[in-house]
Amino acid sequence: AQSVTQLDSHVSVSEGTPVLLRCNYSSSYSPSLFWYVQHPNKGLQLLLKYTSAATLVKGINGFEAEFKKSETSFHLTKPSAHMSDAAEYFCVVTAYYGGSQGNLIFGKGTKLSVKP
Amino acid sequence: GAVVSQHPSWVICKSGTSVKIECRSLDFQATTMFWYRQFPKQSLMLMATSNEGSKATYEQGVEKDKFLINHASLTLSTLTVTSAHPEDSSFYICSARDPEVRPKETQYFGPGTRLLVL
C-alpha cells in the first residue's frame, strides 16, 4: 500500500534563510507526488507535482522539490523564506489499491513558521 | 485556471437542521469531485468521491445517509449534512479533477466551508 511520512510536524526558520520540509513515501508503483500548502482557514493550493518527467520539480512561489527514488524522498525546499510562506504544508502521494485508484493520500502536514 | 469555489464559506446552524454546501469548478469541467473533512490541526480525511451522473463512493465509516452527495453537472457537486449535530462541526473541503491536466490524479481544492452546529 502507498503511504507518505512527513518527518517534521513543525519547522521554524528565520526570514531569508532556506526552507527544507522533508517527506518520504512508500509505493509499489511509480507514484505521482504533490506538495500542497494551506494557509489558516483556507483550502489547499497546489505548489508543485512530480510526474516522472523530471526529478527536480519547480513550483510556485520559489519552491522546488526533488524526487529521489533511491531514498524514496520528495523533500520541499526554498532558498529564502518569506513571512508569507508561514502555513501548513502537505506532502501527498497517489493511491493505487482497491477502489481508490487515483485518490490522494495525505501526509500529516508540516507547519512552517517564519520568524522576522 | 483550475479554480474551485465553495459556498458558503462558513455556516452556523441549529442541531437537527440540514445544511447544503456547494462546490463548483469555475473554469473547467470536473468529472470527478471529492469531499474531505478536516479536524483542527489534522490532515484531510476523504469522505467520498463524487462522479458526475452516478452515485458517490463513500469511504469506510462515512454515513451516506448522513452526508448526501449530488453531482448533477460537470461543474457542481453538493454535500448536504442531514440532521446536523454538534459532532458534525468541522471544516469541509471539496476538490475537483480537471481531466485535461496531467497527472490525472491532480486535484484542485476549494477554499473550504466551516460548519458550526449549535
Length of chain B: 118
DSSP state of B39: -
Q: pLDDT band for A54, please (50, 70, 90 cuts).
A: confident
Residue B14 has pLDDT above 90, yes or no: yes
Comparing A52 with A106, the larger pLDDT belongs to: A106
The residues in B 48-107 lying below 8 A from A, measured between CB atoms, are: 49, 57, 91, 93, 95, 102-107
- pLDDT given at position A100: 52
- Judged by CB atoms closer than 8 Å, whether chains meet at A34 and B6 is answered as no
Q: pLDDT band for B2, please (50, 70, 90 cuts).
A: confident
Burial code (b: 16+ CB inside 10 Å, e: under 16) for A22-42 equals: bbbbebeeebbbbbbbbeeeb
Burial code (b: 16+ CB inside 10 Å, e: under 16) for B34-68 equals: bbbbbeeeebbbbbbbbebeeebbbbeebeeeebb
Q: Which three cell numbers, joined as nine digits, stand for A88?
A: 501548513
Residue B54 has pLDDT above 90, yes or no: no
Which residues on A lie below 8 Å from B4 (Cβ)? 43
Q: pLDDT band for A98, please (50, 70, 90 cuts).
A: low
Those residues with Cβ within 8 angstroms of residue B98's Cβ, 6 or more apart along the chain or in another chain: B1, B2, B25, B28, B29, B30, B106, B108
Which residues on A lie below 8 Å from B95 (Cβ)? 44
Comparing A25 with A28, the larger pLDDT belongs to: A25
Residue A16 has pLDDT above 70, yes or no: yes
CA A115, CA B98: separation in Å to the nearest integer? 37
CA B37, CA B16: separation in Å to the nearest integer? 20
Residue B15 has pLDDT above 70, yes or no: yes
CA B81, CA A72: separation in Å to the nearest integer? 39
- pLDDT given at position A96: 64
- pLDDT given at position B105: 84
Q: Write out chain A in H/E/C secondary structure.
A: CCEEEECCCEEEEECCCCEEECEEEECCCCCCEEEEEECCCCCEEEEEEECCCCCEEECHHHCEEEEECCCCEEEEEECCCCHHHCEEEEEEEECCCCCCCCCEEECCCEEEEEEC
- Judged by CB atoms closer than 8 Å, whether chains meet at A32 and B105 is answered as yes
- pLDDT given at position A27: 82
Residue A97 has pLDDT above 70, yes or no: no
- pLDDT given at position B9: 95
Q: pLDDT band for A30, please (50, 70, 90 cuts).
A: confident
Q: Is the dihedral of CA B7, A32, A101, B99 positive or negative?
A: positive
- pLDDT given at position A101: 60
